[in-house]
Structure 1
Amino acid sequence: MILVAGGSGLLGRKVVQLLDANGEDVRVLSRDPARAAGLPAGAQVVTGDLRRGRLDAVVGGCSCVISVVHGFTGPTRTSPAAVDKGGNSRLIAAATRAGVERFVLGSVVGAGPHHPMSLHRMKYAAEQELHNSGLTGVTVRATPFMQTWLDLIGAKVAAGGPALVMGPGTNPINFVSADDVATFICLAALGDPRIGTEITVGGPDDLSFLDLAQHLLTLRGRSDSPRHVPLSALKALAALARPINPDLARKAKAAVVMNTTDMTLDASPSRRRFPEVAASTLADVTRSTHSAHPR
């Protein structure tokens, strides 16, 4: 049995589908059972929250635990500190008590103790927790998901609204398809020796927010230009919204960081070890999503 914590989210659903297609027995831990609709019929769904309650029964009988949870977005009490650090710490401890054979942690490229984004600092803390646990642990670090930012930038495009770019939008960023990351997480869970104890997964191209926005508009046959949220407004929002809407503040902070820091990545070293895993392009991703179909 393989437990997938966060199995009803963007990445988690893809992981569950791949494992199920491979004939694995899968247990899904999700805070909201309604979000588990559409998962493979054979998946066992357990309602629970990593932030509270006993987790021993959840991991019981599992040979592998996969954690792809995150607290970057969500309700007011959801945060990277509560989920990515605290929740993963509790899950790792329960897996240790249960004698789980393998623990796969979904993390982010750039995770570190001094990163400007709390998500990266808390993912790093979880990585250290896993490293010190004594478990056979594998960390899969990924760049930002193309699907996430296409949805944010193109939220109003299908209805004729603008493609909204956060900041200047010219900074090159390595985006990766969540489908590709799911494949590597499943390889890690199934013990592929090429993975080792950690792997960095990125996409084949460095693209900007403007590249994503223009691609979405072109798919719709539109010639108008994207609209921009000024960088100064994002900086102000990241500071002022923190006490009342931390979710919005984190998104604004992320946009500032992604506009002003080096977000490029040469993903080829990892990719060369896995020639059978497709390196999904922007066109590949938009072809497979409803929000980006041409008119």
Structure 2
Amino acid sequence: MILITGATGTIGSDVVRLLAASGEQVRAMVRTPAKAATLPAGVEVVRADFTDPTSLVTAAEGATTVFLLTAPGPQVARHDTAMLTAARSAGVRKVVKLSAIGTGDTSAAEVGNWHLPGEQAVRSSGLAWTVLRPSSFASNALRWADAIRAGAPVPNPTGTGAQGVIDPRDVAEVAARALTSADHDGHVHTLTGPELLSVPDMAAQLGRVLGRAIDTVDLPLERYREQLVAAGLAPAFVETAVSGARLVARGGNAVVTGDVERVLGRPARTFAAWAQDHRAAFTG
């Protein structure tokens, strides 16, 4: 039995589907069971919350492996520790943690610092472990959908800074491999796409898919901060987003690795392929 936390999110739901399709016993941990209605038939659904230790133990009972995916934020360390404590209590033997690129690098974005205590706890847990550190998701481009449908330029707070943008489906496939094979035990995989791309690069590729030019407009970081505050984001998220944009703009996340290909035996998907598969989101 493999327990998937964050089972209804972008990565977690794909991991559930992949494992279920391959015949694995899968248990999806959710806070709101109604949200699990789209998960495959035969997947066991259990209600639990990272702030409720008893519910975590119940969720982990009978599981041999846990996919540890906690929502980003300052609470990541507490939630990771709570799940690991429950997993050990329930007799779980292995954990695969979804972390973030740059974790442990003092010059990286704050999101990496959110994950560092959890990574350290995983390594010292006494369980078999794998850590996955993905770069920026291609699906972040969905934030541009309203602007693109309206014919407006895409706001760009990162200038010409480029990243190894990764298709979330590749992250899910690597996670599924790590969860079902001992080959990745004790490894940290940094997951990126096959090329470095800036926001203008992605807009150009998306434009080719849509058959029209998509412009970008530079967004000063102070204005970016103001927009995030106006959108109601908590201060910790606002500052993390702004510092992350600053890091990317100066080239601090210009990283491409071959870890996806080494794990999956094929090249990582391109952003252009992701854009083609999600074309409808930008056309209405």
Give the TM-score of the pair, scaled to structure 1: 0.85
Cα distance in 1 for residues equivalent to 2:223 and 2:130: 39
State the distance in 2 between where 1:89 and 1:225 align. 44
2:196 paired residue number: 206
Q: Structure 1 regions of 5+ residues with no counterpart?
A: 72-79
Moved more, 233-242 or 88-97: 233-242
- Please state whether the residue corresponding to 2:102 is helix, strand or coil: coil
The Cα offsets for residues 237-264 of structure 1, whole Å up to 9 and x where unpaired, read as: 6789899655455434433332234212
1:170 paired residue number: 160
Mapped partners of 1:241, 1:257: distance in 2: 22
Alignment-mate amino acid for residue 143 of structure 2: L
Displacement of 1:290: 4.6
Query: Which of 274, 280, 286 is residue 269 of structure 2 equivalent to?
Result: 280
SS at match of 1:37: helix
- Aligned ranges 1:28-177 → 2 under 5 Å: 28-54=28-54, 55-71=56-72, 80-82=73-75, 84-112=76-104, 114-115=106-107, 117-147=109-139, 149-157=140-148, 159-177=149-167
Q: Contact 1:163/1:213 (CA < 8 Å) preserved in 2?
A: no
**Identical aligned pairs, as a percentage?**
26
SS of residue in 1 equivalent to 2:147: coil
Assess, with a 3 A threshold, how the Cα gap between structure 1 residues 18 and 208 changes in structure 2: closer, same or farther. Answer: same
Partner residue, 2:220: 230
Cα distance in 2 for partners of 1:133, 1:237 equals 40
What is the distance in 2 between the residues matched to 1:51 and 1:117?
A: 26
| Local SS of the residue matching 1:232 | helix
- CA gap of 1:205–1:49, structure 2 versus 1, over 3 A, is same
Q: Secondary structure at the match of 1:154?
A: helix
Q: Residues 60 and 98 of structure 1 are in contact (CA less than 8 Å); yes or no, is this contact kept in structure 2?
A: yes
Aligned to 1:13: 13
Alpha-carbon distance, 1:132 to partner: 1.2
Tell me how far 1:121 sits from its aligned partner. 0.5
After TM superposition, give the deviation of residue 116 of structure 1 in Å.
5.4
- Give the equivalent residue in structure 2 for 1:251: 241
Q: CA deviation at 1:144?
A: 1.1
TM-score, with structure 2 as normaliser: 0.88
Corresponding residue of 1:76: none
Alpha-carbon separation, structure 2, partners of 1:152 and 1:243: 15
Larger helix percent = 2
Distance in structure 1 (CA, Å) of the matches to 2:4 and 2:159: 34
